[in-house]
Amino acid sequence: MSEKTTDEYLLQAVGISKRFGATQALDNVDFDLRPSEVHALMGENGAGKSTLMKIFSGDYAPDSGEIVVGGNRVVMASPRDAMTHGIGIIHQELNTLPEMTVAENLAIGQEPVNSFGMLDRRRMIEAAQQKLAAVGADLDPRMPIGRLSVGMQQMVEIARAIAEDVNILVLDEPTAALSVTESRRLFELIRGMKAKGMGLIYISHRMEEVWELADRVTVFRDGKLVGTRDMRALGDEEVKPRDIVRMMVGRDVDDLYGDQKGSIGEPRVIVRELQGNAVGPVSFDVRAGEIVSFVGLIGAGRTEVARMLYGADPSIGGSVSLDGKEVNLQSPAAAMAQGIGLLPESRKEQALFQEMSVSDNTVISTLKKFCTAGVLDSGKIKQSVKNTFSALQVRAASPAAEARSLSGGNQQKLVFARLVEQAPAMLILDEPTRGVDIGAKSEIYRIIRSIADSGTAVMVVSSDLPEALGISDRLMVMRGGRIVAELLGVDATEEKVMEHATGVYSNEAEGREK
């Protein structure tokens, strides 16, 4: 047993190993958490982060090693055991029951009853109000939780965990679906919990969040502990973002976003006075070889514009022309036939056929070009898939492997492979790196730039502001369903984007900054 196993730590994992079949998910890893600390856990997808969290939560049992809570060795055979030992988990996929009220969700397993053995709703609502107040959530406990935003549902889950008297809280990618405002509210809550002596494990791919919140960062790679760094260290020991990236991917990622400046040609896409039921009118151009990102707060209308351009949502006015010809936006099939491609926000639900092979996923929308006299040419398909996978660095066991067997980053690159086969004149990318680790992000940014360099007009919708700034030639800032600013060059900064997105610049006529 390590000498570090003392009661100065809230939680320790000592020599933890876990294997699933031929896959060594964790290999003799250590991890510890102190009181009043935010300890970030980082690594690429498949590094072992989620496996360790599921061991902490009682969902998995380790093959070897020990868990120590408050200096005492413990065995956690279930999530209830974890809660008994003061460990709460806030999963990326929320664990709420949408048809039940906020109060009912907060009372699960602890429903108050009256003297007749019936549910005491008054006491349940009063208890819910107290739990919500503890996290600063001003909500009606009688509201169905499914009507709340993801951020507010997350607050309810945190309120439930705190009410269980946990002193260790694990947050797994907590801002993945949050607005900027909801994220700031969460950060304040995290700081408040830390100030009260709680220990928090923060799992995230977002470097800027880790830099803002974490006291220490531990990095896993391929199931092994790479190292732990003190974020408060100064001088020669000061931690820099490239140090963490190097630990995560095992190599230097010198230029995360790649070459921002390609060869930009004439406008390929011209949008004039496009309007939907709750968006617009909007007007903009996207040139050949150009990457234009649409940014703004949740609800600003970015995705709505993208969906209208792809024919997924109806437009009620305006025009769109592609290479000088007006396009018909009646349906996605019509948009695709006219040279518009879309990478949707959710690859699992909207882009991939999980049980189909990676090869079939790649060519499914372009089968006609592989037909000779009405018969599919399997050799032609095999060679095309091989070439595309090589160019995009898609890593799969074989072309016959099911799409669901790929990592998140390779699944996303698989969707790009299909789009490359389509060779669209305009490509719309909705949250192109959501749920993707930093190593795969770098490769996806390279893919996006190479697609633009081929002459494609690229439109990006991204909630990751550093990403949008890093990959774009121009940014369009939206607020209230309209484009309120166009930024490029020295004007394209996070501060300028947020000033326009939040309405600091009230005179929108001055928004077109060049």
**Under 8 Å CB-to-CB from 273, ≥6 apart: which residues?**
280, 281, 282, 283, 317, 318, 319
Task: Count the Cβ atoms, other than its own, within 10 Å of residue 274.
Answer: 21
d(CA 94, CA 151): 10
295 in a structural domain: yes
295: helix, coil or strand? Answer: strand
* Model pLDDT for residues 231-278, shown as the tens digit of each residue: 888 666 777 777 887 787 776 555 667 666 668 899 999 999 999 888
* Model pLDDT for residues 452-499, shown as the tens digit of each residue: 998 999 999 988 888 898 889 999 999 889 999 999 877 788 888 888
**pLDDT > 90: percent of the chain:** 31
The mean per-residue pLDDT over the stretch 313-342 comes to 89
- Residue 155 belongs to domain spanning: 11-249
The mean per-residue pLDDT over the stretch 35-55 comes to 88
Q: Is the pLDDT score of 64 beyond 80?
A: yes
The mean per-residue pLDDT over the stretch 314-342 comes to 89
Q: DSSP for 456-472?
A: -EEEEE-S-HHHHHHH-
Q: Is the pLDDT score of 300 beyond 80?
A: yes
Query: Are 437 and 301 within one domain?
Result: yes
Query: Are 376 and 331 within one domain?
Result: no
Picking from 231, 249, 191, 218, the residue whose alpha carbon sits closest to that of residue 13 is 218
Backbone angles phi, psi at 456, to 5 degrees: -70, 145
> What CATH number did the domain enclosing 178 receive?
3.40.50.300
Place of tokens 């009661």: 7
Q: Is the pLDDT score of 173 beyond 70?
A: yes
> Domain boundary residue among 379, 405, 423?
423
pLDDT confidence bin for 511, thresholds 50/70/90: very low
**Beta strands of 144-209 (E only): which ranges?**
168-172, 199-203
Query: Are 510 and 418 within one domain?
Result: no
d(CA 83, CA 85): 5
514: helix, coil or strand? Answer: coil
* Model pLDDT for residues 374-385, shown as the tens digit of each residue: 776 677 777 777
292 in Cβ contact with 476 (< 8 Å) = yes
Q: Is the pLDDT score of 26 beyond 70?
A: yes
Q: Is the pLDDT score of 506 beyond 60?
A: no
Q: Is the pLDDT score of 14 beyond 90?
A: yes
Query: Are 245 and 121 within one domain?
Result: yes
Q: Is the pLDDT score of 513 beyond 50?
A: no
> Domain boundary residue among 187, 214, 249?
249
Query: Are 322 and 393 within one domain?
Result: no
pLDDT confidence bin for 508, thresholds 50/70/90: very low
Query: Are 174 and 270 within one domain?
Result: no
d(CA 373, CA 425): 27
Query: Are 429 and 416 within one domain?
Result: no
Which of 68-77, 111-120, 303-312 is predicted least confidently?
Answer: 111-120
Q: Is the pLDDT score of 509 beyond 80?
A: no
> Domain boundary residue among 249, 281, 316?
249
CA angle 166, 167, 172 (to 5 degrees): 80
345 in a structural domain: no
More confident residue, 200 or 418: 200
Query: Are 167 and 28 within one domain?
Result: yes
Q: How many domains does the chain have?
A: 3
* Model pLDDT for residues 406-459, shown as the tens digit of each residue: 776 777 777 777 777 777 899 999 888 877 777 778 888 888 898 899 899 999
461 in a structural domain: yes
Alpha carbon distances (Å) from 306 to 274, 310, 321, 334: 11, 6, 15, 15
90 in a structural domain: yes
510 in a structural domain: yes
Picking from 262, 276, 328, the residue whose alpha carbon sits closest to that of residue 306 is 276
Query: Are 406 and 286 within one domain?
Result: no
3 in a structural domain: no
CA angle 438, 226, 28 (to 5 degrees): 125
346 in a structural domain: no
pLDDT at position 487: 92
Query: Are 292 and 331 within one domain?
Result: yes
Q: Is the pLDDT score of 25 beyond 50?
A: yes
Query: Are 216 and 99 within one domain?
Result: yes
Alpha carbon distances (Å) from 301 to 136, 146, 306, 358, 504: 29, 22, 9, 33, 18
**Under 8 Å CB-to-CB from 157, ≥6 apart: which residues?**
90, 94, 95, 96
Beta bridge mates, 64: 17
Peptide bond into 314 cis (omega under 30): no
499 in a structural domain: yes
d(CA 320, CA 291): 18
Q: Which of 19-23, 305-309, 431-435 has the highest mean pLDDT?
A: 305-309
The mean per-residue pLDDT over the stretch 279-303 comes to 90
Kindly tell me the sign of the dihedral angle through the C-alpha atoms of 495, 238, 39, 192: negative
More confident residue, 285 or 351: 285
Query: Are 411 and 487 within one domain?
Result: no
Which of 28-37, 51-60, 250-259 is predicted least confidently?
Answer: 250-259
Task: Count the Cβ atoms, other than its own, within 10 Å of residue 224.
Answer: 15
Q: Is the pLDDT score of 153 beyond 90?
A: no
